[in-house]
Amino acid sequence: MIRTVITLLLGIIAITVIRAIAGILAKGLGGLFRPSGESGAQRTAGTKLGGELHKDPVCGTFVAEGAAVVKSAAGKTVYFCSAACRDKFQA
Alpha carbon 47 to its chain centroid, in Å, reads 15
Q: Is residue 41 part of a domain?
A: no
What does pTM read for this prediction? 0.46
Statement to judge: residues 15 and 51 lie in one domain = no
Statement to judge: residues 21 and 61 lie in one domain = no
Number of domain units in the chain: 2
How does residue 30 score in pLDDT terms, banded at 50, 70 and 90?
confident
For 77, phi and psi rounded to 5 degrees? -85, 130
Statement to judge: residues 29 and 52 lie in one domain = no
pLDDT, average across residues 68-83: 88
Domain ranges, residue 77: 46-91
Statement to judge: residues 16 and 51 lie in one domain = no
CA 61, 40, 83, 75 dihedral sign is positive
